[in-house]
Amino acid sequence: MVTPPDPAGLLELGLAVFALPPGDRRPGPGWHDATITDAQQLAERWRPGDNIGVPCRPNRLVVLDLDRKNGVDGVAALAAAAAKAGGGIPHTLVVATPNGGRHLYYRLPPGRIIGSTSAGTSGLGPGIDTRGPGRRFGGYVVGPDSLVDDRRYTIADAAPIAQLPAWIADILAARTAAALRVKVRQAS
């Protein structure tokens, strides 16, 4: 018997969650309005078998999504980016993904606007995507204990969530600002 995902541990860490459909990583409509922040809401709204979504905006999170697939190693790419920038990679909460990748959870530094990136557009290197609070709804990640294709996301390092280092925040904030300028030009 497979144990269903249990979001209570994330609430104990002070993280808001929302329900993802069982076995899925894609949210349903209105997910950004369905955030659960306490045990009472969890008891009232959680259905057994739901997967766990961790929203970035209410948690003020930036999550580095380090992929390890198709010959790309986001973990190695982040280490190379840190060495090039002369910056460190702070010890933080790490979730192992079913494909051998990692989600590194960081707190958004005050005064920064950082959105989500995909397909290696983060500016940090190949195999590195990001999920951030952005300006509107923000991004999300699949939370630990979730099951997708019968494979579980697990906590690889239960360290406290560290603040996103300035060197990474600078790169990501510049990418977010550039993306916003493009959207404004397209809307004009």
What was the pLDDT predicted at 180?
54
CB-CB contact of 54 with 61 (8 Å)? yes
Closest Cα to residue 116, out of 58, 63, 76?
Answer: 63
All domains of the chain in start order, with CATH: 56-187 (3.30.2250)
Cα angle: 152, vertex 155, 156; to 5 degrees: 110
What is the C-alpha R_g of the chain? 16
What was the pLDDT predicted at 45?
92
Longest dimension (CA), the chain: 55
Q: Distances from the Cα of 111 to the Cαs of 60, 169, 183, in angstroms?
A: 11, 11, 21
Evaluate the CA torsion angle 85, 91, 95, 101 in order and state its sign: positive
What was the pLDDT predicted at 176?
78
What was the pLDDT predicted at 22?
95
Going by their DSSP bridges, the two strands 93-96 and 154-158 should be labelled as antiparallel
Output DSSP code: residue 118: -
Mean pLDDT per 10-residue segment, the chain (188 residues):
80 95 93 93 93 96 95 96 95 97 97 87 91 88 95 96 96 78 50
Evaluate the CA torsion angle 10, 142, 124, 75 in order and state its sign: positive
What was the pLDDT predicted at 184?
44
What was the pLDDT predicted at 2?
64
What was the pLDDT predicted at 175?
81
What was the pLDDT predicted at 60?
96
